[in-house]
Structures are given as C-alpha cells and as structure tokens.
Amino acid sequence: AEPRRHLGYSDHISVMLIPAYRPLLKLTKPVQKQIAVWPDNATSALQDCFQDTDWNMFKEAATYNNHTDLQEYTETVTAYIKKCIDDVTVTKTITTRANQKPWMTAE
C-alpha cells in the first residue's frame, strides 16, 4: 500500500492498493498455431490417393537380401500418408490467447 495525502480537511488517509499478481492475460503473449482444416471433399480425395497407390513399392524399397527393414518401411509409408493428408487439407493459422476458452471461437 502506498499512502497518499489527506482528502481535504479530513483526517482519513487515502491508500492506493496495487495488486501483487499480474493477470494471466498480461503475463502470456498470444500464441499462433497452424491447424489443418479438412474441406468437404478431402475424405474422398484422400481415399482416391490411397486407392491409386502401389503399396508394394514401399515394401520393395525397404527390402534388402530378402530382409525387410521394418523401420524404413514404416517411416516411408507414414511419410507418404502424411504427404497425402497435407495435399488434401488446408493449413490455417489461428491465434489463441490466455483468456480464450477452447470452445469459444469466432470462426
């Protein structure tokens, strides 16, 4: 508390109280995130991408001397699936603030 001068002819002292905490909104800065938005036709486009894929190609690429390297096989298939998903989705940047509730969006 910080004492102030008297109010007029009163014998009361005015005290200015300063909060000891800082609001969460002032402590944290807004965070920008990138999210993937699935358009209406994304599911069918993704299914078409997977139907047209030669999945044996990945197995052949990871096979050496009749031994399939499971790690390489998994990584290549996963990377291909991620690439297909990135092709059919739209990336959008959103800003989240400390006081913003996750279910309350303006969009």
Three-class SS string for 61-106? HCEECCEECHHHHHHHHHHHHHHHHHHHCEEEEEEECCCCCCCCCC
Collapse the DSSP code of 2 into the 3-class scheme (helix H, G, I; strand E, B; otherwise coil) and give the result: strand
The answer to whether position 59 is within a domain reads yes
The answer to whether position 2 is within a domain reads no
The answer to whether position 74 is within a domain reads yes
pLDDT block averages, 10 residues each, the chain of length 107: 65 73 78 90 92 90 88 93 93 86 63
The answer to whether position 103 is within a domain reads no
The answer to whether position 19 is within a domain reads no
The answer to whether position 34 is within a domain reads yes
Q: What is the pLDDT of residue 101?
A: 75
The answer to whether position 22 is within a domain reads no
**What range does the domain containing 62 cover?**
30-96
Say if pTM beats, i.e. exceeds, 0.75: no
Q: How many domains does the chain have?
A: 1
The answer to whether position 20 is within a domain reads no
